[in-house]
């Protein structure tokens, strides 16, 4: 997910006392290393509450933990140390490319145990296609807890909020989890809007004006 060739990890935190990272590449994509996010599925059952904003509380809990682990900087750990569950004290053969300060530490406290295990499984699996991906010296930095919205705006069969002209769509509204899926959802909503006004025009007898 979110592969950034020749890219950088950036501190994208937006709230005091919380750390959230993201990835980016300059147009030349000529940085020393590449980075990519590893995404683990999180469901409402993991939030521990049925409150409408439970997802946001879950997100904030772990971003606060990441802030504490890095003492305000981006927490960094080598993959080999992550697997062995020991804090990283020195870097190996990979130089971190991070915009902003970073701190060598342990990421264990920044994620639930099941997510930690799933990340290890995913990285090892990727290594079968891209040898070296699961190198002990690979650098992990965290956390990116905003790959998709933790809140979903409810919409009906016509893809709009009931009784309104509001059409929630894309990542922020909780209907996508990336650039491509957001674009597809946006197209679906655009078609729904066009269909609605086309049908209303036919009902009002103004189809000729639209076509003309």
Q: Are residues 184 and 129 both part of a single domain?
A: no
205 pLDDT tier (thresholds 50, 70, 90): low
How deeply is 143 buried, as exposed, middle or buried, from its count of CB atoms within 10 A (0-12, 13-18, 19+)? buried
The mean pLDDT of 118-143, rounded to a whole number, is 94
Q: Strands 8-11 and 35-36: what pairing? A: unpaired
Radius of gyration of the chain (CA): 22
Q: Are residues 88 and 7 both part of a single domain?
A: yes
Q: Are residues 13 and 105 both part of a single domain?
A: yes
* Cα–Cα distance for residue pair 123/40, rounded to 1 Å: 11
pLDDT digits (tens, 9 = 90+) for 152-168: 899 998 999 988 989 99
In a domain? residue 68: yes
pLDDT value at residue 212: 43
The mean pLDDT of 110-122, rounded to a whole number, is 93
Q: Are residues 110 and 19 both part of a single domain?
A: yes
Q: Are residues 60 and 165 both part of a single domain?
A: no
In a domain? residue 132: yes
pLDDT value at residue 202: 64
Q: Strands 8-11 and 74-78: what pairing? A: unpaired
pLDDT value at residue 198: 81
Q: Are residues 124 and 29 both part of a single domain?
A: yes
Q: Are residues 95 and 31 both part of a single domain?
A: yes
pLDDT for 207 beyond 60: no
Q: Are residues 163 and 128 both part of a single domain?
A: no
In terms of residue numbers, what domain contains 79?
3-141
pLDDT value at residue 203: 64
Q: Please, what is the average pLDDT of the chain? A: 89
Q: Are residues 48 and 131 both part of a single domain?
A: yes
How many domains, the chain?
Answer: 2
Query: Where among 122, 141, 160 does a domain terminate?
Result: 141
In a domain? residue 147: no
pLDDT digits (tens, 9 = 90+) for 33-89: 889 989 898 888 898 888 989 999 999 999 999 999 999 999 999 999 999 999 999
In a domain? residue 101: yes
Note the helical H segments in 130-204: 179-204
Residue 140: count of CB within 10 angstroms of its CB: 21
* Cα–Cα distance for residue pair 169/160, rounded to 1 Å: 9
pLDDT for 105 beyond 80: yes
Lowest mean pLDDT among 17-21, 35-39, 55-59, 203-207: 203-207
Give the count of alpha carbons within 13 A of 20, CB side only: 15
Q: What per-residue string of b and e applies to 54-82 under the rule 16 or more CB within 10 Å gives b?
A: bbeebbbebbebbbbbbeebbbbbbbebb
In a domain? residue 125: yes
* Cα–Cα distance for residue pair 167/19, rounded to 1 Å: 31
């Amino acid at each position: 997910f979110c592969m950034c060739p020749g890219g950088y990890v950036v501190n994208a935190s937006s709230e005091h006392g919380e750390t959230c990272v993201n990835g980016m590449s300059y147009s030349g994509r000529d940085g020393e290393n590449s980075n990519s996010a590893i995404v683990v599925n999180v469901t409402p059952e993991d939030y521990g509450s049925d409150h409408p904003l439970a997802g946001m509380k879950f997100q904030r809990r772990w971003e606060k933990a990441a802030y504490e682990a890095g003492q305000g900087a981006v927490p960094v750990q080598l993959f080999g140390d992550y697997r062995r569950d020991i804090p990283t004290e020195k870097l190996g053969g990979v130089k971190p490319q991070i915009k902003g300060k970073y701190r060598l530490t342990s990421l264990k406290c920044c994620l639930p145990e099941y997510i930690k295990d799933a990340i290890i499984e995913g990285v090892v699996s990727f290594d079968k296609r891209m040898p070296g991906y699961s190198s002990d010296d690979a650098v992990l930095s965290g956390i990116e807890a905003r790959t998709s919205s933790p809140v979903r705006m409810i919409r009906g069969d016509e893809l709009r909020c009931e009784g309104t002209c509001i059409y929630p769509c894309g990542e922020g509204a909780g209907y996508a989890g990336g650039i491509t899926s957001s674009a597809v959802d946006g197209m679906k909503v655009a078609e729904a809007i066009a269909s609605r006004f086309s049908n209303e025009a036919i009902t009002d007898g103004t189809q000729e004006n639209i076509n003309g």
